[in-house]
Structures are given as structure tokens and as C-alpha cells.
Structure 1
């Protein structure tokens, strides 16, 4: 299929000298036709009368024959050259239209071929479906097994998608780990499309065997159809992309159809992202502090730092802006902005009060994360021994080796480590030991259901016994009643936080609370060279 663009593969016209050779050859043929009869007749008469033939006429005849043979040979050579050039041009066009790794179309060719298919759908009174397929957690494969294995996975993925797609489909690789596939279907039978999508997701859910490994991957798919508000192929691509984001947001390893509501949601997310970037730059997202209480004495032991975004239109819930920050890669900037504000605010608090900061799983993919945190601590002169870094169980599994390295670097500088949301993931005892955690926080879901779900009560008891065996203090989150707090204290839980004690408070309100309790102190002596790098 032609692409219609200038890629330098056109056949070049013959050079001027070949045109002259062609003209001479044609002239020689005309002369031969005109003179051959006469020359042959004279030669025959001379032979019968034993007279010598006209020498010059015979030379002219032979010269005509030689010119004709030369022209015919040159014509064959020229035809061969033109054919070779045409094949080279076709190959160049093929290479320009294809992804070199997988052999399927590239993004530019998809736009051209897809637009042609889109027009053909209308002409044939059919609808066009466009699937966008994203390999989930593909970066982890590259990080763990190398780019050669990642490339092998992509080639296998392209081959599997090609086998699944119906005849006449257009398949392209449009990103590092993303493919797009368009095909026609009867608009009255969208289940045809869903069967193709379900086969694709099912295939990707099975282990991919390559490079001697059995790799567990999955795929998220977004689907758009041309007869649902998509007036062009570009609109169809935008719709499929929006549906893909919805599928990934819903938990991955699934598909979603595009509709107008999704388009409005995508526009709202884009607006929120723009506002979020500005809010981070202006430090409009600020730290709030949730009290952590000693369950044995009722004394204040520290605070968990929470991000809050208060706008003129009201408070934006963390559940709204934090996923956007993670999806857009802004979570690192947001986290460090809130950390820096919290450290500055807490420098003159009582030395026994700790700050707990949560790290996103995305942040644990940054090999320089520990150095960045220590740099902030040094610049604002906040003691590392008063900082507790919290990571969730699931964050450990994205890249366990890198996470352990980061956490070990922080611990070496005096930062304490907390395994957050324990019981909701798959952390093993080996992981508790390998990361050398200083504290474990029980998942909120177990605490809130303590009085109503017997299984959760068993889990809470088991975690308490685990803490005793490993000499790990246990924190309970989400305590709402005095009875729950007392029950947890009796089980051996050392810290608690939740609505029973206080709502998260702003910097100003937290400072007033500490002043009332006499927990503010004068800042310590100035540290020489506060910008000194710490490994």
C-alpha cells in the first residue's frame, strides 16, 4: 500500500546520454529498414554477375546492424538498472513505513493507512474499530532482564497480535510498549470487536517464553469505534487513547470502550494536570500532620506527613490529585516539595517527635532517590534520625533489588524505615529482614473492621505476634473509637493514629498545639556547610 509521501525512493529518469543512444538506435533502425532492401538487392546482383559488391554500401549496412545491436544491449542494461532502482525504492519505502524491531507499521504509516481504512469503512457501510494495546509494567522487564529481553517480548507481542487480528487489519507499533490495531466490523455487532480484545488480553495474561525465561505480563486495551462520535481517524486515535487510560486507571489487564463521558473525563484530567503543575511550582500543595500516639501512655510521639491541596474552589482530595501526579511523573516533584516544607516547619519541634513520609512506588524506581532525600535533609538542617520513610508492600515488588538499595542507603544515614499497609500485599518474612525495617504499620482495612470481621481480628493478632518475634514495633492506622485503641494496646501495638486522636492539621494549627504542650524548642546550632553532599 502506498504512503503517498516523498521518501526519496522514486525511480530516476535515464541520463541524457542514454536518450542520445536511444535516438541513434532508432535512427539506425530506420536507416537499416530503408537501405537493407537496396543493399541486399545490389549484393545479389553483384554475386550473379561476378562483379564486386558496393563496398561502402555494405559497410553502411554492417554499421547499421552494429548500431542496432549496441542500442538493444544498452536498452537491456538500462531496463535492468531501472528495475534494480525500482526494487531499491520499494525496499526503502517498506523500511520507512515499518518499525525496524517488530516489522509492523510505524506510527506515521498508521496515520496514513488508518485514514484510508477509515474512509473505506464509510464507503462499505461498516464501522472501524481501533484498539490501543499497552503492555503493563514493561519497564520492569527492561530493568530486571535487560533491553534485549524487552525487545524479544515486543517481537513476540507483535507476532501474537498479528495472529489474533482479523484479515485486513492494520497493525502498528506507536510507542515503546504500545501497539494500535484498526479493522472493520459490522456496526450492529460490536461483540465481534470484544471477542478480538478478549482473546488479546487472554493471550497476554499467559507467560511469554523468551530468552529462556517465562515472563508474566499483561495488557491494557482501549477501544474506539468510528460510528461513536469520531469524525476522523485522528479523533478515533484520541478516543482509543482515552479508553486506554481508563483501562489502566481501573487496574490494568482489562479493556475499556471510549464514549463521550470518557472524553470529558480526559479533558478534566488534562486541566487538573495543568493546575497541578502550577500548584507544585507555587507550593500550593502543603503538608498536613496526623498525630501518632503512644498507645501505652497516650503521649504524642510524632506525625505522619500528608499532602493537602486547598484551592479557592475548595480542598482537592488526595485521591484525586495523587493518581494524576503518579501518572504524569509529577509525584517526585510533589513529594519533595511537601517534604521540604514539612522539614522546615518541624526543625524546632521537640527532638523526640518524628516525621513519617510516604514514598510512592514510582519514586522507588529512581536510583538516586536516597541521595536526593539526604540532600534535602542537609539543606534544611533536619536530623535524619527524626525521619521515618514509609513504603508499601506492593512498592517493594516492582523492583525489589533497587528498593532494598535505596532503603539501605537511607538507613545508613540514620533514617528509620517503616513497612506501610502491612497485610494488604505479599511481603514475606524474608522481605522484612532484607530491608531491615524499624517499624510495621498495619493496613487500615484490618483496623476499621476489627469489631465486625473475625478474620481481620485473627490477622491483627498474628501481626502483633510477628512484631514480638522480630522485635518490630507495630503501628495501627485508622483508630476511631477508644475501645479499638484499648484493644490494640492490649495486643501489643505501640503506636496508633486516627480520628480518635485528631484530624490532620495544618502547619499553623500543629504549631499552636505543640506550643500549648511545650513541645517547641529553639533551633539547634547552625551546621557548617549545609549543602555538603552525603552518600
Structure 2
């Protein structure tokens, strides 16, 4: 701020000097008029008749007047040019302050007053203002895979495509990152006009973009709010700010409903968002308070009917919400970046519980795709095993097919690290993703888990028996044991029996249980570890067990 004030003071002093110079030039002109009218005729007569000319002092004074006039006029011209340059610089600075340099759209700072002005213009008559919040779907993935240069071109192309759809009087702003806002007038008696524009925006942006020889596809999610729906009670908040808030809520609702679509704001969405915020706050608090606990689902050997292990499932014992299902809190924990902390906390508790079981019982743990993006994940997991003195051969981690495609190199390195120490790796929900045979051969999986959506339809008329049989045959050919999820009743169990050796799990064998209930189940069967028997010590992972990426070697 002090530097800015210094520059203003310098500019002020320059202007003052220029004004003085201009005053001198004006005075010189007046003097020239006064002396020149008397001296110039004498000079002319002297030249023409050869008589003595005017006094040298007066001639010199006249010449000085002329020099001062030239100096003053020249400085005045420079002053005019400088003022023009300064005006252009101020215009440029204003443009830079109000627009996004990449796309040429308005920015977050300027869209709010522009929206308020547009709302004021629509105060009378049937016109209203619509605020469309636009967010690019999965833009981070495009940036990560193709680089920021390609990402910037995608943003530019998207902005240009939206301009072609919007009316000439509409406002288009880039609010930051991959988020845009469109603000426009419309006839409040024809709200379907906004539906048409939103549909055209989605369709226009969805067309493939060819950049550096690559075909890039991007979709958008759109949320809509209008000034028509603003209640009198809401007038306390600035209308532009309220429209942005509501359209933002509607946009996130569109993302939650599958993306590549639009939704109008509804009051219920705000309640959902409030609930979502309560879930986020509850998750953060719950991790610190130890409210997340492992539950265990039995895994049975189909041939012998014996209990061979458990799969750990997360449960949230919330003081306000009761027992919360993982389908509700796991996606939120992934989005807010606490899934790794939550998962590690659950794994540590599960290892403590499993040490009380018979050493032949295995423990299966699901791993989030977010965790597999961490190149240090395998090291962290092995250190947890050592900390709890838990044999790696009893642990089986489960990863989904979608994890394979995000970064197969990192995934392969992690799987190799864990397998080198004896940890088993299962491919979960097999059949619902896009894992290829070459990936199954190149990645050293130990087991395939058939997704419950196939197993659950084995008894239907239009059954998935051929699919299940094909997966079992594939597993047999690849020498990978099979686990069938979703064995809910006796009919499904009978349909699976006779298809070969495999493990099964599902509600037919009982609901997931707490650690205390598992102990009650195991004690009568003699499947608790014998008191006083020292557990098998887990060996300290060796340096060679951790294949490192170049990035890890640099960090080391």
C-alpha cells in the first residue's frame, strides 16, 4: 500500500510540474504577442532597408519567448500523450481486475455487482433473472492425465461453447477452477426458456474436443435459481449472493444425481446440503471420538461349511444418528479427504480384534480407491501389521476394478509390496467394472470376488448363472480362488453348490456383527486363540519389500 501511495505522489508531482510548464508557455505566448508586435516590424524594416535593427536585448528576449513557447507546447503534447497512456493503463487494469485472463469471462469479483444490476433492470414488468451455476465433471482427472496445458484449453473451449449458446446480453463468468456462472434475463411467464438453454449448454459442451491430436470429452452439471422464487423473507440477503448460493446447491444436487444434467433449486435441496454438512462435521468429530467401529461378516467354505474368516465392514455409531451404514459416510469421507485416517483407524482396531481369534481365521479389509492413490500406502499398511504383531498371511485386502484403471503402475507396485510380505490381494466386485484378462494376468491377485448383483439373481428366471459359471471357470483357469458375495438365502446357496470350491458370505449366514458378538460366536466353537499362546510374530518388512517409484526415491 505504501508503494502505491508513493507512486501516486510521484504522479501528482509530475502533473504539478507539467501545469507549471504549461503556465510558463502561456506566459511566453502573451509576452511574445506584446513584444513581437513591436519588434518584428523593426526587424523586417532593418532587413529590407539596411537600417539599424532593434536592440539586441529585445531580440534576445523575443527569441527566448519563442523557445519557451516551443518548450511549453512540446511538454503539453507529451502531457496529453501521457494522460492517454495512463487512461489506457487504467482501463487495462480495470479489465484485468474484472475478467478472467484465461477465458476472457467475468470473474467472481465482478459477476456479483453485474448480477445485482441485471436484477435491478428486471424489477419492473415480467422479466426475471436466472443464475446458472456450471461445474465441469471430473475436470481434475483431465488435468492429471493430460497436463494443465490441455486443461486450460478445455476451459477456453468450454467458455467459447457456452458463449455461443447464451443470448448476447447474458453474463458469463469463471468463478475459479472449473466453475462457471451464467446470468441472463428471461420472461418469467416462460421459464422453459431456461430449461432449453441449460439443455443446449450441456449438449454443446459434451461434444468431444480435439486437443493436440487427443479427443477430450467433458460434461457439465448445472444448477439453476431465479429471482422469481425469491421470497420476501429472503430480501435481507443480497439477491445476487442468494441466487449464487441456491444455484450452487442445485448444481451439487445434479452432481449427486449422476452428473451431466441440470436441476432447478428446491428448498429440500438446502435441507439435504445442511444434512450433508452435519455428516461431514460428524465424521470429523467421530474419527477423533472413536465412533467408527469394525463389524464382521462371516466367510464360509462352501465344501465343508466351516467358518474360515471374516470381512471387516465399517459402522458409525453416531450419538445423534445411531448406527450409520457405510454407503452413507464412506463417499463423504472420501470427498473430504479423511478416508485414509478413518480406514487406518478401523484396520488397527480390526487387527486387535482378530488377534483374539483362532490363528487360522482370516481377516478381509476393503481399501478405498483414494487410499490407492497414495504411493506410500503399502508401507503404511505393513507398518500397522508390525505395530500390532499381526501375521500378514492372515490379512486379505480387497480392491475394486475401478482402482486398476486410475494408475495401474502404482497399483502394481503396491500389490507387489504387500504380496512380498505375505498379504493376500482380492479383486472385489468382479464383473461390474472393466478389468481385462491381460490385467488379471499381469496383476498378481490371489482371489476373485463375484459381485452380489450376479449372485443374488442366480435363482431368478432370467438368471446370471452363465455369468457366474464363466467367472468361476475363469478363476479356475487363472488359478484364482473364488468368493461369492450376497448369499442371502438357501436357494442361492443351493445354486452355488456343485460349482466348485469357493468361499461364500451373505445374510444367509448372519448379519455383520460387532467384535463382542464375534467372540460370543467363536467361543463355543473353540475358535478363540488359546490363552497364553504367543501369537506368531510378524517380521519387520525389509527394504526390498518396498518397490519404489521414481518420485518416492527422490523424496527419500
Q: Same fold per TM (> 0.5)? A: yes
Distance 1:383 1:118, change over 3 A: farther
Q: Unaligned 5+ residue runs, structure 2?
A: 547-556
Greater shift in the superposed pair: 487-496 or 102-111? 102-111
Match of 1:70 in 2: 71
Q: Secondary structure at the match of 2:513?
A: coil
1:396 matched to 2:396? The reply is no
- Cα displacement (A) at 1:173: 2.5
Greater shift in the superposed pair: 25-34 or 508-517? 25-34
- Cα displacement (A) at 1:531: 12
Match of 2:504 in 1: 496
Q: Secondary structure at the match of 2:323?
A: strand
1:178 matched to 2:179? The reply is yes
Distance 1:146 1:259, change over 3 A: same
Contact 2:382 2:541 in 1 (8 A): no
Distance 1:332 1:175, change over 3 A: farther
Q: Secondary structure at the match of 1:32?
A: helix
- Cα displacement (A) at 1:454: 2.1
Match of 2:287 in 1: 280
Distance 1:454 1:517, change over 3 A: same
Distance 1:490 1:285, change over 3 A: same
- Cα displacement (A) at 1:267: 1.2
Distance 1:493 1:427, change over 3 A: farther
Please show how residues 191-340 of structure 1 align to structure 2 within 5 Å: 191-229=192-230, 231=235, 232-313=239-320, 314-340=322-348
- Cα displacement (A) at 1:376: 1.9
Contact 2:459 2:495 in 1 (8 A): no
Distance 1:198 1:81, change over 3 A: same
Please show how residues 452-491 of structure 1 align to structure 2 within 5 Å: 452-491=460-499
| Aligned-residue CA RMSD (Å) | 2.9
Contact 2:455 2:485 in 1 (8 A): yes
Match of 2:550 in 1: none
**How far does the alpha carbon of each residue in 1:412-465 deviate from its partner, in whole angstroms, 9 at most, with x for none?**
332211111122222222222222221111111222222124242222222222
Q: Unaligned 5+ residue runs, structure 1?
A: 1-5
Greater shift in the superposed pair: 68-77 or 27-36? 27-36
Contact 1:305 1:355 in 2 (8 A): yes
Greater shift in the superposed pair: 503-512 or 481-490? 481-490
Contact 1:134 1:178 in 2 (8 A): yes
Match of 1:353 in 2: 361
1:430 matched to 2:438? The reply is yes
Distance 1:331 1:451, change over 3 A: same
Contact 2:390 2:537 in 1 (8 A): no
Quote the Cα distance in structure 1 between the aligned partners of 2:341 and 2:398. Answer: 17
Distance 1:188 1:534, change over 3 A: farther
Match of 2:552 in 1: none
Quote the Cα distance in structure 1 between the aligned partners of 2:379 and 2:118. Answer: 52
Match of 2:428 in 1: 420
Contact 2:227 2:243 in 1 (8 A): yes
1:25 matched to 2:33? The reply is no
Match of 1:98 in 2: 99
Distance 1:464 1:526, change over 3 A: closer
Quote the Cα distance in structure 2 between the aligned partners of 1:9 and 1:93. Answer: 18
1:380 matched to 2:388? The reply is yes
Distance 1:58 1:7, change over 3 A: closer
* TM-score between the two structures when normalised by the length of structure 1: 0.90
Match of 1:3 in 2: none
Quote the Cα distance in structure 1 between the aligned partners of 2:257 and 2:202. Answer: 15
Contact 1:9 1:92 in 2 (8 A): no
- Cα displacement (A) at 1:156: 2.3
